[in-house]
């Protein structure tokens, strides 16, 4: 198969481009430089507008750089910086792309102030970007906002059902601005995953029937087969997708890569992160449930995640009242009751230094060291309110809503993602990664630690490899 010729350009966001996409990656993991380089190859580059860096002032992304003592003020400042950073990255992407390909911007629907940030950026980037992709939540208002700026919108969904709900409730009124639909595999794609209660976390369903079902749903809504579906999650090389290309059953298909483009010269992640990608083995990447957004996510099972797993393992249920199950008094310092069987574990954890019991929203106590307790308190005290409802800090954007009960088993994802992208600490921070990340070490393309340019990777992908 001659890949280059069989990969027909398709119409995406108003231009004929090769259907090869770099997915958006926050925080600041896909930026103006990487997305612009991808577009310059006649593909689609996506920069992240989730707390993007302000060029020349990376440190302004760090949580520590917010000076106000009042969280709502830090939150307002975060929104201002996100808008400034988004506009700046859009300009860089545009200049880097040199009028080739398409530039998309990615936001997360559950980020705090998403409407204000989208409006703030889109009102200033006319002609610079061509589409907005958005997932992590149900982005009902995405269509309306993008239509206001004559910009195509691309919801990221993990099932036909999710798209159907979006369409019926909101998108049918903005059909002409629907640029395409991203199908992201909820079991294996890097970053947050859209697994719902309908899916079994332990049993991956293959993408073919799920994408066909999405296509059929789109057809039922009168959407033409030329409206592309971007397939994301587990796409490493196109020779594994031969049956999808030019197959009328699927309609127009584009392939979205998230993990593989992490390892290019233009990718803004630190060298330590790039190098560690080359060492990943099968099984190093897994789904976890620690994100304070409430979504499952796929990441490298490094010391950071292992610490959180160990913390959750030091957990016992308790009751406010004694009864014949909860018989033992325990003071936290308030008196609660625990099961007799749990007493030996509690005593052992306390002996090991995990002497601080913290209440969780699941009516359990989790045991941490005094240092860990201080770190949790410090992180909460620096919260900038970055997600609409944070299960770690209890922050909620909707001041009239019941805030979530803060959960000490989770962590500040904002701080952690900044820590890896700015400080490059691959052991002590969340390292999002797709489940095929181990393929860097097995793919001969990367022999001897080779890090390609975007051009080289793009050519490799176009060759089917």
Ligand X SMILES: Cc1cc2nc3c(=O)[nH]c(=O)nc-3n(C[C@H](O)[C@H](O)[C@H](O)COP(=O)(O)O)c2cc1C
**Quick check: 421 binds ligand X (CB under 6 A)?**
no
Query: Residue 367 pairs with which residues in a beta bridge?
Result: 357
Please check whether residue 232 is in contact with residue 181, taking contact to mean a CB–CB distance below 8 angstroms. no
- When binding is defined by CB under 6 A, the residue of 36, 180, 190, 357 that contacts ligand X is 190
- Say whether residue 268 binds ligand X (CB under 6 A): no
Please tell me whether residue 158 binds ligand X under the rule CB under 6 A.
no
Pick one of ligand X, ligand SF4, none as the site partner of residue 53 (Cβ within 5 to 8 A by kind): none
Name the token pair of 140: 């009902």
φ, ψ (nearest 5 deg) of residue 438: -65, -15
Burial class for 308, CB neighbours closer than 10 Å (0-12, 13-18, 19+): middle
Given candidates 33, 79, 88, 108, which one binds ligand X under the rule CB under 6 A? Answer: 108
Tell me which of ligand SF4, ligand X, none is bound by residue 436, counting a contact when its beta carbon lies within the kind-specific cut-off of 5 to 8 angstroms.
ligand X
Closest CA relative to residue 260, chosen from 234, 298, 288: 234
Q: Which is nearer to ligand SF4, 228 or 292 (CB)?
A: 292
Select the span of 36-44, 116-124, 226-234, 343-351 touching ligand X (CB under 6 A).
226-234
Closest CA relative to residue 135, chosen from 112, 110, 160, 159: 110
**Which residue of 354, 432, 440, 458 would you call a contact of ligand X, by CB under 6 A?**
432
Nearer Cβ to ligand X, position 234 or 406?
A: 234
Tell me how far, at minimum, the Cβ of 293 lies from ligand SF4, in Å: 8
Closest CB to ligand SF4 among residues 159, 416: 416
User: ∠ CA(398), CA(404), CA(409), 5° rounding?
Assistant: 140
Spatial contact of 402 and 389, defined as CB atoms under 8 Å apart: no
Partner touching 25 among ligand X, ligand SF4, none, CB below 5 to 8 Å by kind = ligand X
Which residues bind to ligand SF4, rule: CB under 6 A?
Answer: 292, 383-387, 390, 392-393, 395, 412-415
Q: Is 259 in the site for ligand X (CB under 6 A)?
A: yes
Say how far apart CA 29 and CA 346 lie, in whole Å.
41
Asked whether position 106 contacts ligand X by CB under 6 A, the answer is yes
Binding partner of residue 383 among ligand X, ligand SF4, none, CB under 5 to 8 Å per kind? Answer: ligand SF4
Q: Which residue do the tokens 């005290």 mark?
A: 381
Does 292 sit near ligand X (CB under 6 A)? no
Between residues 315 and 393, which has the closer beta carbon with respect to ligand SF4? 393
> Does 433 sit near ligand X (CB under 6 A)?
yes
CB of 299 to ligand SF4, least distance (A): 15
Q: How far is the CB of 156 from ligand X (least distance, A)?
A: 5
135 binds, among ligand X, ligand SF4, none (CB under 5 to 8 A by kind): ligand X
Q: Closest distance between ligand X and the C-beta of residue 50, in Å? A: 5
Asked if 131 touches ligand X (CB under 6 A), the answer is no
- Residue ranges in 227-246 that form contacts with ligand X under rule CB under 6 A: 232-235
Task: Report in angstroms how near the CB of residue 408 gets to ligand SF4 at its nearest.
Answer: 12
**Contact criterion met (CB below 8 Å) for 386 and 380:** no
Distance CA 304, CA 309 (A): 9
Q: Which contacts (CB < 8 Å, 24+ apart) does range 386-389 have?
A: 386/51, 386/75, 386/78, 386/111, 386/112, 386/413, 386/414, 387/108, 387/110, 387/111, 387/112, 387/292, 387/293, 387/413, 387/414, 388/110, 388/111, 388/112, 388/114, 388/137, 389/110, 389/294
Q: Which residue number places its CB atom closest to ligand X?
A: 258
Of 354 and 392, the one with the shorter C-beta distance to ligand X is 392
Nearest to 449 by CA among 234, 265, 259: 265
Determine the 3-state secondary structure of 298 from DSSP.
strand
- Determine the 3-state secondary structure of 86 from DSSP: helix
Task: Tell me: does residue 429 bind ligand X (CB under 6 A).
Answer: no
The owner of tokens 């007493």 is 343
The beta strands (E) that lie in 270-323 are given as 285-288, 297-300, 315-319
**Residue 89 touches ligand X, criterion: CB under 6 A:** no
Of the candidates 409, 448, 149, the one whose C-alpha atom is nearest the C-alpha of residue 288 is 409
From the CB of 377, what's the least distance to ligand X, in Å?
Answer: 27
Residues within the interface to ligand X (CB under 6 A): 23-26, 29, 48, 50, 106, 108, 135, 156, 184, 188-191, 232-235, 256-260, 432-434, 436
């Amino acid at each position: 198969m001659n890949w280059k010729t069989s990969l027909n350009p398709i119409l995406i966001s108003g231009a004929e481009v090769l259907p090869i996409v770099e997915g958006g990656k926050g925080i600041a993991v896909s930026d103006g430089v990487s997305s612009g380089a991808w577009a310059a190859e006649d593909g689609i580059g996506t920069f992240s507008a989730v707390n993007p860096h302000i060029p020349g002032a990376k440190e302004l992304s760090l949580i520590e750089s917010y000076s106000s003592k009042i969280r709502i003020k830090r939150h307002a400042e975060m929104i201002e910086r996100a808008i400034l950073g988004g506009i700046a990255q859009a300009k860089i992407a545009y200049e880097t792309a040199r009028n080739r390909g398409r530039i998309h911007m990615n936001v997360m629907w559950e980020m705090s102030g998403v409407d204000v940030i989208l409006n703030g950026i889109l009102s200033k980037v006319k002609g610079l970007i061509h589409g907005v992709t958005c997932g992590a939540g149900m982005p009902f208002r995405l269509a309306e906002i993008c239509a206001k700026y004559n910009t195509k919108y691309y919801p990221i969904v993990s099932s036909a059902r999710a798209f159907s709900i979006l369409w019926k409730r909101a998108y049918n009124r903005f059909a002409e601005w629907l640029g395409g639909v991203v199908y992201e595999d909820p079991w294996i794609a890097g970053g947050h995953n859209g697994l719902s209660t309908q899916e079994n976390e332990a049993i991956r369903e293959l993408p073919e029937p799920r994408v066909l079902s999405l296509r059929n749903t789109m057809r039922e809504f009168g959407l033409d087969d030329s409206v592309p579906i971007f397939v994301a999650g587990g796409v490493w090389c196109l020779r594994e997708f031969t049956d999808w290309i030019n197959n009328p059953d699927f309609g127009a298909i584009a392939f979205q890569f998230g993990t593989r483009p992490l390892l290019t010269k233009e990718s803004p992640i630190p060298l330590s992160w790039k190098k560690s990608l080359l060492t990943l083995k099968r099984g190093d990447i897994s789904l976890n449930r620690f994100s304070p957004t409430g979504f499952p996510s796929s990441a490298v099972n490094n010391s950071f995640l292992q610490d959180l797993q160990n913390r959750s393992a030091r957990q016992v249920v308790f009751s406010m009242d004694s009864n014949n199950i909860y018989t033992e008094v325990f003071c936290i310092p308030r008196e609660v009751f625990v099961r007799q069987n749990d007493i030996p574990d509690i005593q052992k954890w306390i002996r090991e230094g995990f002497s601080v019991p913290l209440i969780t929203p699941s009516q359990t106590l989790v045991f941490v060291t005094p240092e860990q307790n201080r770190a949790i308190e410090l992180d909460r005290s620096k919260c900038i309110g970055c997600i609409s409802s944070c299960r770690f800090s209890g922050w909620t954007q909707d001041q009239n809503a019941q805030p979530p009960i803060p959960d000490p088993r989770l962590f500040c994802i904002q701080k952690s993602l900044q820590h890896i992208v700015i400080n490059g600490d691959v052991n002590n921070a969340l390292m999002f990664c797709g489940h095929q990340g181990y393929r860097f070490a097995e793919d001969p393309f990367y022999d001897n630690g080779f890090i390609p340019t975007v051009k080289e990777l793009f050519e490799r992908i176009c060759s089917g490899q």
